[in-house]
Amino acid sequence: YEIMPSLVGSEMCIRDRRLALSRATQRRPTEQEVQRGVSLIDALVQEEKTSPRKALKYFCLLTLNLNEFLFQH
């Protein structure tokens, strides 16, 4: 999956983040969750000068570390 810098923050980015979150959590993500993911990627690219590809990796890592995946005995 190739990410183009012009897609970061666009409608395509929002659709992709929604799909990624729904596949990872097996539920429909809230608009707030989607927007927070897009905001994270935008901030990493624009403020931290992270490549779009690396920003996507951080987003995926964050998604897999959500509290929903914590297992408690």
3-state secondary structure the chain: CCCCHHHCCCHHHHHHHHHHHHHHHCCCCCHHHHHHHHHHHHHHHHCCCCCHHHHHHHHHHHHHCCHHHCCCC
pLDDT tens per residue across span 9-48? 555 577 888 888 888 888 999 999 989 988 998 899 999 9
Going by C-beta distance under 8 Å and a sequence separation of 6 or more, which residues neighbour residue 67? none
- What's the confidence (pLDDT) of residue 43? 93
How far, in Å, CA of 10 to CA of 26, rounded? 24
